Amino acid sequence: MLTLSGAASLKVKELIQAEGDEELALRVAVRPGGCSGYSYEMYFDKDFTPEDTVQDDGGVKVVVDAASAPLLKGASLDYKDGLQGAGFAINNPNATRSCGCGSSFS
């Protein structure tokens, strides 16, 4: 399933702490849409279903729904903070192409 880099784990922990609810998990999903066919969705959640895959990665609870799991297998989430901006990026070996803006894939 999806793994988090050290920088991504630290940033997610920081954001969860700012939310004030230590029960929150990072939900990562793949949804139809975007110019290449699929787009990523990430948000905090604490409502899980039995079909969800839940794992702990670097002290962060990560949740992926059953439909997204095959599309995220082997993917990694990183966080970069630099002069060009800050943000999360998913490196997905299952993506055969991505759009110019980097927010969707197929």
Would you state the pLDDT for residue 104? 46
How many domains does the chain divide into?
1
* Residue 90 structural domain: 3-95
Q: Domain holding 61: CATH number?
A: 2.60.300.12
Q: How far is CA 26 from the centre of its chain?
A: 7
Nearest Cα to Cα of residue 90 among 52, 41, 54, 23: 41
Percent of the chain with pLDDT over 70: 88
In a domain, 100, yes or no: no
Q: Is residue 103 part of a domain?
A: no
pTM: 0.83
Residue 87 has pLDDT above 70, yes or no: yes
| CA distance linking residue 8 with residue 88, whole number of Å | 7
The yes-or-no verdict on residue 106 having pLDDT over 80 is: no
Percent over 90 (pLDDT), the chain: 65
